[in-house]
Amino acid sequence: MPVQYFTDAHEELRLHIRRFLENEVVPHLDEWEETLFPDGIFKRFGDLGFLGLRYPEELGGQGGDYFSVVVLSEEMARAHCGGLGMAVAVQTEMATPPVFKFGTDAQKRRFLAPAITGEAIAAIAMTEPDAGSDLAGMKTTARRYGDEYVLNGRKIFITNGARCAWCLVVAKTDSEAGHGGFSLFVVPKETPGFQVTRTLKKLGMHSSDTAELLFEDCKVPADFRLGEEGEGWKNLMWELQGERLIAACGHIAGAQGIFEYALQYAKDRSAFGRPIGKFQVIKHKLVDMANKIAVVRAFVYETAKRWDEGEYPVREISQAKLLATQVNVEVADEAIQILGGHGYMAEFPVERAWRDARLSRIGAGTDEIMKEIIAKTYGL
């Protein structure tokens, strides 16, 4: 790995994560694709310190930098842990960062600390049945009555939604204030009026749960509002930058892993009297795959470095997310072509890699939304 981004400590962490995944996760992946991974695996991640790699030690974290979570994301991708990797990323890089950045000390102790240890599974609820890319079209409301808010609305496509201990919910506190009318709330699962109405079947990421949630006269203490009332949209946009960047890191690593698998297959598989990697059409496919991965990975790392240093490079994060996820899907598709019939079979990892990768061009902002954001930064 490039020395300007990863230190010896990062590489030691990488080996620690890799050994753990090889010994305790990979042997169960096929089973979890059928049954979902068990809740207890979060506690195991927490015990090993993997859920708080860049949170301060006083909250139970490891005090590392952003490249510590890049290492975790890359190793999860390398082990082909699509569904579990996404669920862990929701915990570490989507639901908990806003609690750390905008939460009070009491909120951090109550919600963030147990999420770091893995005792509490977290989710984040933005998307609604009628508000996906158009997040401003959310209809979920939160009306204040004294010392509590009453939430009403429905959320969909929520990773960890069925098993979470608490969920970070975006709701309208002022329907007339536009982007200034949104607020964030931490809602414990046991809150009356918080219902999981169904779990959803999907193309990929089979080992993780994806749920539809209903909030029906759900009363939440005002103390559980995250940040100031009306600042939810601004805070959510900050959260999405981290979500998109970690997606870029994981998916370009996923592309690298599938490329390496296809490369080895092309060396081992023979047809017409020689390894298929000796045929020009196959070797050129592999070269094209390798080139795209190398270029995008360099860009992703440089963008991650800027984020780690406190910058807010919206254009570059959007570009990184767009390019990395497109390359991952393309590489997985080409790998299936190289493997032929074997690539279409569930017993080979490229089949699951393609199914899992395809979500990335939709979640955290579609390709089209990324292009719109990038265009705006150029004054278009």
Mean pLDDT, residues 355-370 taken together: 97
CA atoms within 13 A on the CB side of 361: 13
Q: Is pLDDT at 256 greater than 70 in this prediction? A: yes
Residue with tokens 């990975």: 297
Beta bridge partners of 127: none
Mean pLDDT, residues 47-64 taken together: 98
Here the tokens at position 83 are: 């569904």
Mean pLDDT, residues 266-278 taken together: 98
Euclidean distance between CA atoms 100 and 355, whole angstroms: 33
Looking at residue 357, what is its pLDDT?
97
CATH code for the domain defined by 234-377:
1.20.140.10
Could you report the per-residue pLDDT of 313-332, keeping only the tens digit for each? 999 999 999 999 999 999 99
Of the candidates 367, 363, 364, the one whose C-alpha atom is nearest the C-alpha of residue 327 is 367
Looking at residue 224, what is its pLDDT?
98
Q: Is pLDDT at 3 greater than 90 in this prediction? A: no
Could you report the per-residue pLDDT of 22-32, keeping only the tens digit for each? 999 999 999 99
Domain locations in the chain as residue ranges: 8-120, 123-229, 234-377
Q: Is pLDDT at 156 greater than 70 in this prediction? A: yes
The top-level CATH class assigned to 123-229 is mainly beta
How far from each other are the two terminal CA atoms of the chain, in whole angstroms?
37
Euclidean distance between CA atoms 28 and 101, whole angstroms: 35
Please give the mean pLDDT across all residues of the chain.
97
**Cβ atoms of residues 204 and 82 within 8 Å:** yes
Q: Is pLDDT at 93 greater than 80 in this prediction? A: yes
Looking at residue 69, what is its pLDDT?
98
Amino acid at 215: F
Could you report the per-residue pLDDT of 349-360, keeping only the tens digit for each? 999 999 999 999
Q: State phi, psi for 43 to the nearest 5 degrees.
A: -65, -35
Could you report the per-residue pLDDT of 198-222, keeping only the tens digit for each? 999 999 999 999 999 999 999 999 9
Using 50, 70 and 90 to split pLDDT, how confident is the model at 1?
A: low
Euclidean distance between CA atoms 143 and 225, whole angstroms: 12
Could you name the CATH architecture of 8-120?
Orthogonal Bundle (1.10)
Q: Is pLDDT at 109 greater than 70 in this prediction? A: yes
Euclidean distance between CA atoms 172 and 154, whole angstroms: 12
Which residues are known catalytic residues? 243
Using 50, 70 and 90 to split pLDDT, how confident is the model at 4?
A: confident
**Cβ atoms of residues 167 and 125 within 8 Å:** yes
Could you report the per-residue pLDDT of 280-305, keeping only the tens digit for each? 999 999 999 999 999 999 999 999 99
Rg from Cα positions in the chain: 21
Return the exposure string of 33-51: e unless at least 16 CB atoms fall within 10 Å of the residue's CB, then b: beebbeeebbbebbeebbb
